[in-house]
Structure 1
Amino acid sequence: MTGVTIGSAMPSPSVAAALASPERLAAVDATLPAYAGPDSDFTGIADLAAGLFSAPIALVSLIGDATQWFLARKGMTEISATARDTFCAHLLTGTGAPLLVRNALKDRRFSRLPSVTGGARLRFYAGAPIMHLGQAIGSVCVFDVVPRADGSQDALLHLQQFAKLAGTLLLLKEEARRRAIANVAIAREEQRQASALDAANVGSWLWNLKTGIVVGNPPLMRMLDLKPGVPLTARRVFSAIHPADRKATIASLRRALQTGAEYDDMFRARATGRWLLGRGRVHEWDGERPLMFLGITLDVTEGQIASERMRLLLRELNHRVKNTLAMLQSLARQTLRRTNDPVAFMEAFAGRLQAISEAHGLLSDHEWGGIRLTALLQAQIKPYVDDFDAQVEIHKDEVQMGPDQAIGLGLVLHELASNARKYGALSVAGGKLVVTARIVEDEGKPVLHMTWHEVGGPPVEPPKRYGFGIVLIERSLDKVLGSSVHLEFLPSGLTALVRLPLQ
């Protein structure tokens, strides 16, 4: 039995007020253990109190508004008392002084208590209050079943010291309990954070600069390919950095240690070559001397690869833009040589500019890594046909072309398609284009052989003078070594034979 509840006896007004005092009950709650039952740590205090008075019964208890909790008992196992029906409740009305009752049967304050008139037949009582925050919250007391004339002032002072000891022990135990709860919460939070770092693949590490020992989480060990179970030292960590990056990384760490600034550096892991980003700063100082360094490490390989690809793309784009500008200048000069009419010049030049733009757009969509022949044919021919599926027949192997091949062939296709729309098969109803493209091996290298053949159009005669369009068709692939375009003006329709090395 850890506590007893309200009995039938009615306390005096002063005792009732003390029991119900909000300030006192708040002090009780501040020290009340989670399990307010017998506690072996208080047994020694009860034994000392009983020995001090040579008493058969001793108690250490806390007193609520209606319940008395026994933390330790010596002697009688069943005490017929409640918070309102107890000797100890009278301790709550004073200022911390002990209470001595030599014969309860002759003391009108206690003579009618059930513990006096009933089976317990208590007679002698000595008790001292347990104090906290200036409030009496419990007691250390002794009982005897016979009246006693003894009970010196020295004994009461010692009993008071035992009560202070009990109060201190209560506070220490409650503080320990709260710290244990806080430590459990901290451990859970640390575990949650560790799980979050692990799930996010974030390496964390703490470097003890005095011992050289590094504590790292599992993601860090994986990133650096370090085996668990072996003490991790700064030397081992530095050895796991790629030799080409090690010196710069150590120098960056040294600067952070010397200045207290944040460490921020990128390096490669020696074992895997993957790019890692390290960040951190001094976490603890001894005066001006750094003691602990805390950091994180992120795997940024994908971002580094993307950044490098972007740099390559920008260099490629810069190269292509320069080539394109040179080509546009040449196109403009050649177009001007063939016409003095500004309207005719703009029409011819705008079409050729559009052809280059279409090829550039396709290449840009594919990050300048090459485009398929199908996409190029559709982009350059569709503007000049009314019904692509009905007017264009394509037989081909699928071909992947690089930037030079795509831009050059795009101009060729543009000139052929625009010429067919003005004068050839696409200028009349029923005319159509037949395009055949095959890859053949020529000296062990792939070469595209493409035939452009117009059918169903007006009769064709060889031109008496080659215009710029024909010149452009035959010279648009000059940048691709080994390429050629041959035109045949057959009566049944224009035929163009294109040879284009793919490497």
Structure 2
Amino acid sequence: MNSNRPSSLVAAALASPERLAAVEATLPAYAGPDAEFTGIADLAAGLFSAPIAVVSLIGGTTQWFLARKGTAEVSASAQDCFCARLLTETGAPLVIGDALQDERFSKLPSVTGGPHLRFYAGAPIMHIGQTIGSVCVLDVAPRDFVSDEVLLHLQQLAKLAGSLLLLKEEARRRAIANTAIAREEQRQASALDAANVGSWLWNIQTGAVVGNPPLVRMLDLKSGAALNARRIFSAIHVTDRKATIGKLREALKTGAEYDGIFRAGATGRWLLGRGRVHEWDSEGRPLMFLGITLDVTEGQIASERMRLLLRELNHRVKNTLAMLQSLARQTLRQTNDPAAFMEAFAGRLQAISEAHGLLSDHEWGGIRLTPLLRAQIRPYADDFEAQVEIHKDEVHLGPDQAIGLGLVLHELASNARKYGALSASGGKLVITARVVQEEGKPVLHMTWHEVGGPPVTPPKRHGFGVVLIERSLDKVLGSSVHLEFLQSGLTALVRLPLD
């Protein structure tokens, strides 16, 4: 099936970009023998009672045999094949009774040499108006006549081969697309699983539900068991079930998006569900509902914590405002000097602010004693580490305890700075704080003792500062502050229940 010098017309047809594009569109991944084309080659050989038959694709330089009978070859040179001359016949079949007597074919190696071919009949395989291959038969003996009916059947076999090529190419492309879709679905499923996002598809008519592993885990359902709407609804906490089903029904009725938060009955964890109708029938009735489910337990806990914190903050702000009003009135009674009032009131306001700041940093859940001592005393000490000696147990204070004790410490520290141990270079504060059990309940016993300061003279009357020290813990039941004006230094004894 070869020729050494193809005509310029054949060479141009072989190299045609339009034809090669049509070949490329149908070229299998493996261009070689394909069992699905064998029957066509057998039928062609039977039609002509010919010893050789071939179903081929013709590229720019190569003729690939998709099926062959009577030859072991799987390809040939396109420039030297009989079938290349079909490219110039504009879709018509080609019959050569005796190649040796036809100048177009007499010089072909397959004619002048083995297998010494003489007869050829071929019908083109067409695609988008271009000849891309052929179904042909060959014989070593010449023939004088081929009937129109036999040629028609050969053309029909060529059309069948062309249809089969297109079907196989379409199947190949679909397989590639399906593989890509499956890969993308797997990627999305893996992403949903990794992100702990439950997905579900509800067949409304049958009640069947298809859900991914995160959904099964969230609702604590039996893995591998068939899912349906009844099982899903039963897994919702009984308190939230009616409202959740009501929202779903509304979404089914209106086509709007479903959006609801509910608890899983088995675990109590909070779940957020979202979805909408995915398919409708011809009469507008919902068929499929697609949705996702997220575990929002942490967010719900944080939201509830924030609500509690805001309520606590509102309560504290009201108490603090009442305390500030009382402080302002009492401070005004002690002085007619605006500058002295501002100094005294600002210090007390700062003491409350420091305690509020520490409590706020801990979400109003209470604070430890150490940072409160440092916050209230440090502003009045030149060298806190050298002037303040603290011996204490680990103590945790609630909001009322922290604010009241903070105000006491402020008054004691500011007094020590003005008149006591912190006003002298060698003065020192010694603070001892111990927790003891009284009737099975923890009570803080704290001693504030000043040493090394100026001699102390007991006051003839108690000013507002002393009153404030003694009454700042009134909100804590069972608490007390006792002051002793010893000549060696002021001593304050604090008793503070910790429950």
Give the TM-score of the pair, scaled to structure 1.
0.98
Cα deviation 1:139-192 (Å, max 9, x = unaligned): 001011101122111111111111011000000001101111111111111111
Letter in 2 for 1:178: R
**Offset of residue 79 of structure 1:** 8.1
Question: Could you tell me which of 385, 390, 404 is aligned with 1:389?
Answer: 385
What residue in structure 2 maps to residue 157 of structure 1? 152
1:298 & 1:412 partners in 2: Cα distance? 50
Cα deviation 1:107-147 (Å, max 9, x = unaligned): 11111101111111111111000000100000001011101
2:24 & 2:5 partners in 1: Cα distance? 24
Determine what percentage of the aligned residue pairs are the same residue: 84
**Offset of residue 76 of structure 1:** 2.3
Structure-to-structure mapping, 1:300-319, within 5 angstroms: 300-319=296-315
**Offset of residue 80 of structure 1:** 8.8
Q: 1:364 to 1:79 in 2, by over 3 A?
A: closer
**Offset of residue 461 of structure 1:** 1.5
2:75 & 2:432 partners in 1: Cα distance? 111
1:253 & 1:118 partners in 2: Cα distance? 82
Structure-to-structure mapping, 1:133-152, within 5 angstroms: 133-152=128-147
**Offset of residue 211 of structure 1:** 1.2
- Stretches of structure 1 lacking an aligned partner (at least 5 in a row): none
2:354 & 2:33 partners in 1: Cα distance? 89
Question: Could you tell me which of 46, 49, 59 is aligned with 1:51?
Answer: 46
**Offset of residue 477 of structure 1:** 0.2
Is the contact between residue 79 and residue 115 of structure 1 (CA under 8 Å) also seen in structure 2? no
Structure-to-structure mapping, 1:350-361, within 5 angstroms: 350-361=346-357
Letter in 2 for 1:358: E
Question: Could you tell me which of 201, 208, 233 is aligned with 1:238?
Answer: 233
Question: Could you tell me which of 289, 298, 301 is aligned with 2:285?
Answer: 289
What residue in structure 1 maps to residue 442 of structure 2? 446
1:447 & 1:237 partners in 2: Cα distance? 53
Cα deviation 1:307-340 (Å, max 9, x = unaligned): 1000000000000000000000000011111111
SS across alignment from 2:79: coil
SS across alignment from 1:296: strand
What residue in structure 2 maps to residue 370 of structure 1? 366
1:206 & 1:37 partners in 2: Cα distance? 45
Is the contact between residue 65 and residue 74 of structure 2 (CA under 8 Å) also seen in structure 1? no
Cα deviation 1:336-389 (Å, max 9, x = unaligned): 111111111101100000000000000000110000100000000000000011
What residue in structure 1 maps to residue 398 of structure 2? 402
What residue in structure 2 maps to residue 204 of structure 1? 199
1:307 & 1:78 partners in 2: Cα distance? 77
What residue in structure 2 maps to residue 432 of structure 1? 428
CA RMSD, Structure 1 to Structure 2 (Å): 1.1
Structure-to-structure mapping, 1:248-263, within 5 angstroms: 248-263=243-258
What residue in structure 1 maps to residue 264 of structure 2? 269
1:475 & 1:275 partners in 2: Cα distance? 46
- Establish whether residue 477 from structure 1 lines up as the match of residue 478 from structure 2: no
- Establish whether residue 491 from structure 1 lines up as the match of residue 495 from structure 2: no
Structure-to-structure mapping, 1:49-198, within 5 angstroms: 49-78=44-73, 81-198=76-193
- Stretches of structure 2 lacking an aligned partner (at least 5 in a row): none
What residue in structure 2 maps to residue 34 of structure 1? 29
SS across alignment from 1:168: helix
What residue in structure 1 maps to residue 344 of structure 2? 348
**Offset of residue 54 of structure 1:** 1.2
2:471 & 2:171 partners in 1: Cα distance? 90
Is the contact between residue 64 and residue 76 of structure 2 (CA under 8 Å) also seen in structure 1? no
Is the contact between residue 58 and residue 73 of structure 1 (CA under 8 Å) also seen in structure 2? yes
Cα deviation 1:217-249 (Å, max 9, x = unaligned): 111110001112211001101111110011111
Give the TM-score of the pair, scaled to structure 2.
0.98
